[in-house]
A = this chain, B = another copy of it.
Amino acid sequence: MSENFNVGLENIEKKDYDEALQKLEALFGSQLSTNLTLRQQHAHTMTWLENQPADAVLMARDKQDVAKAVAICNEYQMPVIAFGIGSSLEGQLNAPYGGLCIDMSEMNEVIQVNNEDLTVTVEPGVTREQLNHYLRDTGLFFPIDPGANATIGGMVATRASGTNAVRYGTMKDVVLALEVVTAEGKIIKTGTRAKKSAAGYDLTRLMIGSEGTLGIVTEITLKLFGITECVGSGICHFPTVEAACEATMMTIQMCLPIARIELLDTLQVKACNQYSNLNLKEMPTLFVEFHGSETGVEEQAQIFSDIVEECGGSDFAWDSNEEERKKLWHARHNAYPASCALRPEAKALSTDACVPISRLAECVSETAKDIEASGMIGPIVGHVGDGNFHVLLLVDTNNPEEVQTAEDLVGRLAKRAIDMDGTCTGEHGIGQGKQKYMQHEHGDAVLVMQAIKHALDPNNILNPGKIWSVEVEA
C-alpha cells in the first residue's frame, strides 16, 4: 500500500453524477441540497486532512429514504456516505470520490425501551447524551462514552468505546442487533433481541466498525445497564506517567471491576486547569470511578488506594457525591478543547493506539519521550484500563515541516503499538488517516476483509476510499 499519509486522496477521478442527482432531487425535493457550505460542513474531518465534500447532502427522514437513496446510488455507481454528527477523527466523512452524503441526524427517535429486557432500540441519529436523557427515569443507562456527544449510528460505524469500556465493553459488546441498508438498497436485520445466538454468521459484529463500507445502519438495538446503587469517583497523582500506568496495570491484573480509569499526563492536567478553571495538582493523574453497592464501592476504593500507595502515588481521595463527580468528568470530557486551547492557532490531531495492558507503561513512556524529542506539543490522555491512550498533537497545518513531524510521530506510535501486539487504533478507526498501517497490523487478513467488501458492495459505492483506498496485493 502507499506510504503516503494522505493515501488515496490524489489522482482521484470524480465521476459526473448529474443524472443520479436529478433522480434524487425529483424524489426527495428540499430534503436534498447541493449548497457548498453545507457539503463542506458534512465533510468536516476534525483532522488536518483536506476537506472533500460530497456532491449533495440528503436529510434522511426514515429507513425508506435511506433504502431508496442507496438503491439510486447503486444504480449510478455513485458513492454514498452516512453522516451522524461529524465527530469522527480519521476523515471517515470525507467524500474523496464525491457522491451523496446521507445525513441521519433527523432519524433520531428512541423507538422502544424494553425495561424488562434491559434493551433499547433507536434510530441511528440518536446521540448518546440524548439516549441517557431519555432513560433518566428508568434506572438504566447506556454506558458507552467516547467523549464527544456522538450519534449511536456513528458509534456503531467506528466501533466506539471510551471511558466506561474497561467495565462495560465497547460497541461490539453492547449492540444486540442492527437493521442495515445493504449496497443494493435492501433492508436486513442482523440479529434479534435474544442475548445470545448461534444461528449463522455474526453480521452484527461484522457491521460494527466497518465505517459505513458494508452497509448503512438504520436501527440499533442496544443492551442497557442498571445504574448501580453507589457510584464513587476519585483522583490521584503520580510522580511519573510510568507509575500511573503501573497502578493501572495492577488494577486490571487484580481484576478490580473498576468502571473508569483515565490517565492525564502533566500537560493535559495543566490544560484542564486552565480551560475548566480547576486547581488539580499538575502531575500525572488518574481519574477513577467505581460502580457497585455501597460496600462494594468502598471495597474497590480501598483496594485501589493500596495500589496507588504501592505504585508511589499520592493524595488518593474519592467521593460518592454526584456534583463532585460531574465536575471531575466534565473536566475529563473537555480534555480535547482544553488541549486545543494550549495553542489556539494550531489544529488538534487526536490519534490513538491500544496495547496489551502489560505493555502500557512502556508504550506510553516511549511515546512521551518521542513527543518530547520531536519538540511538538502533545498531551497524553487515555482509557488506560484498556491499554488505550490518545495523543493530542497541536499542529500548525500551514507549516509542512511541522505536519511531517506530526505524521512521523503518529506513524511511530502506530508501529510501536502494533509491534507490542497491539493495534494502531483502539477506537478512532482507520478512515483515511490510518490506512497505511493496515497491512503492518493485519497482513493477509486485509485481503479477506477486501473480499468481504467486494462481495457485499460490488460497485464500491459504500464510503469508498475508507479503511483502504487501493487494493493490497496478494
Contact = CB atoms under 8 A, between A and B. Distances in A.
Contacts of A114: 356, 358
A240 to B, nearest CB: 19
B200 A438 contact: yes
Contact of A193 (B296, B421, B426): B421
Contacts of A421: 192-194
B467 A200 contact: yes
A216 interface: no
B452 A198 contact: no
Contacts of A449: 200-201, 203
B192 A418 contact: yes
A448 B201 CA distance: 9
Nearest to A451: B455
A206 interface: yes
A293 B454 CA distance: 50
The number of times this chain is found in the oligomer is 2
Interface residues of A, number: 89
Interface string A426-468: 1111100010011001111111110110111000000000010
Interface stretch (A12-20, A27-35, A246-254): A246-254
A443 B192 contact: no
A198 B425 contact: yes
Interface stretch (A158-166, A269-277, A367-375, A390-398): A158-166
B444 A188 contact: yes
Interface stretch (A102-110, A116-124, A336-344, A402-410): A116-124
A386 B197 CA distance: 10
A430 B299 contact: no
A206 B206 CA distance: 6
B117 A357 contact: yes
Contacts of A455: 451-452, 454-455
Contact of A296 (B192, B206, B299, B448): B299
A242 B116 CA distance: 16
Interface in A85-144: 114-119
Contacts of A428: 198
A374 B388 CA distance: 56
A208 B198 CA distance: 9
A137 to B, nearest CB: 16
A264 B287 CA distance: 45
B354 A195 contact: yes
Interface in A54-71: none
B387 A172 contact: no
A151 to B, nearest CB: 16
B445 A456 contact: no
A455 B451 CA distance: 6
A415 to B, nearest CB: 13
A203 B445 contact: yes
Nearest to A158: B198
Given A160-B198, A201-B210, 5 more contacts: A114-B356, A114-B358, A188-B445, A194-B387, A201-B452
Interface of A: 114-119, 158-161, 165, 169-170, 172-173, 182, 186, 188-190, 192-203, 205-206, 208-210, 214, 225-226, 228, 249, 252-255, 292-293, 295-296, 299, 354-358, 386-388, 417-418, 421-430, 434, 437-438, 441-449, 451-452, 454-456, 467
18 contacts: A116-B357, A117-B356, A161-B198, A172-B196, A188-B447, A194-B421, A194-B422, A196-B427, A197-B423, A197-B425, A199-B423, A199-B424, A203-B449, A206-B452, A226-B255, A296-B299, A452-B456, A455-B455
